[in-house]
Structure 1
Amino acid sequence: MNFIYNLYPVRAVFSIFQVVTSWLTPRNWFRWKPTSAGQLEKVEQKILNYCKNLSEKKFVPVKSEEIWTVVLNKEKEEEHTPLVMVHGFGGGVGLWIQNLDDLSEKRTVYAFDLLGFGRSSRPTFNRDPSLAESEFIDSIEEWRKSVKLEKFVLMGHSLGGFLASAYAIKYPKCVQHLILADPWGFPEKPPVNQEQQRLPGWIRLLATMIKPFNPLAGLRAAGPWGPSLVRRIRPDLRETFSEVLEDDTIFNYIYHCNAQKPSGEAAFKTMTIPFGWAKFPMINRMTDIPSHLPLTFIYGSRSWIDRSVGNRVKYIRNDSQVDIQIIQGAGHHVYADKPQIFDRIVKKICDTVDHNIALEQRKSQLATEKERNIGDEIQDE
């Protein structure tokens, strides 16, 4: 889950109130300007212009749909294990802008917009939560086949971490290491009495009122004031991306990613229960991931995500490699809040994968040579 669950509730409600009241003035009645695919493309291009290692930008066919994909350092694909990056709720490839060049320094990196998000196709997902999840997962597998990837490191943030885990359960043979950056959807929902003690009554009332709507319906209702709404609710994003992006680019990007047809957003709502818990928590399925597949959790120390889940996974998968990294000073957007530290952890993981693959190849080569030598000795006798 991305920026929407990182809000200060009072600030969010007050900002929405300000935006709504501004609609009521006559001067705004005729200023409505809807979003478009072209506007999203334009603002994303402004972001991607920062990339130095960009090799390809393309729509990858996935049955009757298309998944928008960017590829960096394509020429290194045969030399090192590729890295595949899966964004979180409400995001897209542009949010990785501070990481793409660094992570692709010596390997190929693939980043794509999940089906139903960003510039990818926005189909109507199944209303059954398990089937909606499967549609996400199967689209990733079809994407993998289309780009002809055999082995890769898979990294997902927030909702992307949830889906990356589900993918590793269903299609584990291609995943060399699973990296979960502040993943959403792992813990079970606490008992009702505990949740009521934790949340103020006005928040529960507000949640009940907006329950029939998709999570970001208010952002779309804001129309041309959407970027302003994002800016008021999350002013910290300007500073977070200030080293690479100027003016309101990041706010415009988030707005145009989410102001169009709420396809993936509706699927996400189908997969959740109030207040933002997964209907089928991933913690109950982690033992379904093959024990030989190593996992790494990367948490921000200031994130709202419950990082004790990582320790629970480590306990229940005691026959598997499970590492937990906590980045001090980072929030839920751990990859953007502390990009240098985050990238250093991810690159070390990828280098370890390369090293282990090289060792396995060397062992296989030695075994083949040994069999050949034994065969030659038998023939000589």
Structure 2
Amino acid sequence: MDPVTAPIQNDIETEPSSVWSWWPSWCPTSMSLLKTTEAKILGCLQNDLWARFVTLSNQDRIWTLSLTNKAAHKPATPKTPLVMVHGFGGGVGLWIRNLDALSRSRTVYAFDLLGFGRSSRPQFPTDAAKAEEQFVQSIEQWRESVGLDSMILLGHSLGGYLATSYAIQYPSRVSHLILVDPWGFPEQPQTQNQESHGQATEVVKRTSPPRWVKAIARVVSYFNPLAVIRAAGPLGPGLVNRFRPDFKRKFEDLFDDDTMTQYIYHCNAQTPSGEVGFRAMSKSLGWAKRPMLQRVHLLPPSMPLTMLYGEYSWVDSSSGDKVVQMRSEAHTKLLMIEKASHHVYADQPQEFNRAVENTCSSVN
């Protein structure tokens, strides 16, 4: 099957609602442009690709990729599929350096989270727990619609936070949980010299966040995190190129133009939805209102857990150490990917793919 012409079911564009009908005239974006840019990215894939919208019970739709390697020998017992969940502001296209390698021996699924990418963009509640629950239930309904009995669940950043929440609620569906630089685990530390109950609070050392994180953090408490991209109108694509030049560098061996930054722009210049849910769950860009370290003990001890961190990531990897300590009697592994930032999968794709493949092989 030609990956460029892979069959697409119910491939109807999800355009912004009437409230935002003026948006494309101000911002040079549309779901059609997102679709076109994504198609260029997915054209790099070699394994068989099946791309479609998966419709949930409430008629929301989740944009889904499924990859298989038909050239590979099929085992007598099918291997547990790997399901990949992207982070904040991302989409399935960001896995382009990983999908072929990871689908050589098992089926790999990747989908756009509800409210992101090409998936439906419904309203999210402003309550943190309710917003999180809406994300989690959309993942469960997606699993039911696709027909997966169990899966190896991998989540990056925000996707790691949601994957953990999902695994706590539906442990029988997760054969192995893989968290890649997960967001929202630690509690927000006290500021330097601040005292708590009369005792000085230890300051947690963290790698300084990159410029784009600081810029977004300055406005996140007042607006949706990516509002600046939409407010910039025709200047939006230039802002993405300015603040995220690293995305062009990470994929420069695949594209010598602005394909990846255009993809990021089109993913995030649409109607704000998933980012509204994210804002509801976050104190600020780096901290969750409901830190996952307070709940990770609810994962069954029998559930294997692997955590991958980038050596130079702005996400604090000490949370991984704490998880290992909390799950001392459980199968928990912490891996550090050298010379990688927050986007481990793109910075060091070979090391990332090898680590994930080894983890998957431990399942079957």
TM range (shorter): 0.7 to 0.9
Distance 2:157 2:99 in 1: 18
Distance 1:135 1:74 in 2: 33
Residue aligning to 1:365: none
Residues 194 and 153 (structure 1), Cα distance of their counterparts in 2 relative to 1, 3 Å cut: farther
Residue aligning to 2:354: 344
Please list, as runs of the form range in 1=range in 2, the aligned pairs for 1:14-33 lying within 5 A after superposition. 32-33=26-27
Distance 1:222 1:169 in 2: 40
Distance 1:205 1:182 in 2: 20
Task: Report how far residue 74 of structure 1 moved.
Answer: 7.1
Match of 1:255 among 232, 242, 265: 265
Deviations 1:219-239 (A, max 9, x none): 111223222111111212212
Equivalent pair of 1:119/1:257 in contact (CA under 8 Å): yes
Distance 1:208 1:257 in 2: 21
Query: What secondary structure sits across from 1:102 in the alignment?
Result: helix
Residues 194 and 232 (structure 1), Cα distance of their counterparts in 2 relative to 1, 3 Å cut: farther
Match of 2:253 among 243, 263, 268: 243
Deviations 1:298-349 (A, max 9, x none): 0000000110111101111111011011011000000100000000000011
Residues 192 and 146 (structure 1), Cα distance of their counterparts in 2 relative to 1, 3 Å cut: same
TM-score normalised by L of structure 2: 0.84
Find the structure with the greater CA-based Rg.
1
Query: May I ask how many residue pairs the two structures share in their alignment?
Result: 322
Distance 2:325 2:220 in 1: 37
Distance 1:331 1:83 in 2: 23
> Is 1:102 matched with 2:101?
yes
Residues 234 and 85 (structure 1), Cα distance of their counterparts in 2 relative to 1, 3 Å cut: same
> Is 1:180 matched with 2:175?
no
Please list, as runs of the form range in 1=range in 2, the aligned pairs for 1:123-272 lying within 5 A after superposition. 123-193=122-192, 211-272=221-282
Equivalent pair of 2:183/2:286 in contact (CA under 8 Å): no
Match of 1:45 among 34, 39, 48: 39
> Is 1:68 matched with 2:63?
yes
Distance 1:115 1:276 in 2: 21
Per residue, is there more helix in 1 or in 2?
1
Distance 1:321 1:345 in 2: 16
Residues 158 and 204 (structure 1), Cα distance of their counterparts in 2 relative to 1, 3 Å cut: closer
Deviations 1:203-226 (A, max 9, x none): 999956652201111011122322
Opposite residue 41 of structure 2, the aligned amino acid is: I
Residue aligning to 2:314: 304
Equivalent pair of 2:297/2:327 in contact (CA under 8 Å): yes
Structure 2 portions without partners, runs of 5+: 1-24, 196-202
Residue aligning to 1:119: 118
Task: Report how far residue 80 of structure 1 moved.
Answer: 1.3
Task: Report how far residue 34 of structure 1 moved.
Answer: 3.4
Task: Report how far residue 274 of structure 1 moved.
Answer: 2.7
TM-score normalised by L of structure 1: 0.80
Which has the higher mean CA deviation after the structures are superposed, 73-82 or 270-279? 73-82
Residues 342 and 231 (structure 1), Cα distance of their counterparts in 2 relative to 1, 3 Å cut: same
Distance 1:38 1:206 in 2: 26
Residue aligning to 1:87: 86
How many percent of aligned residue pairs carry the same amino acid?
Answer: 52
Opposite residue 97 of structure 1, the aligned amino acid is: I
Residue aligning to 1:372: none
Distance 2:154 2:353 in 1: 12
Match of 1:57 among 45, 51, 72: 51
Residues 33 and 162 (structure 1), Cα distance of their counterparts in 2 relative to 1, 3 Å cut: closer
Opposite residue 43 of structure 1, the aligned amino acid is: T
Distance 1:321 1:72 in 2: 28
Distance 2:155 2:49 in 1: 21
Deviations 1:168-209 (A, max 9, x none): 000010111100000000000112446898899xx9999566
Residues 207 and 66 (structure 1), Cα distance of their counterparts in 2 relative to 1, 3 Å cut: closer
Equivalent pair of 1:54/1:70 in contact (CA under 8 Å): no
Residues 82 and 303 (structure 1), Cα distance of their counterparts in 2 relative to 1, 3 Å cut: same
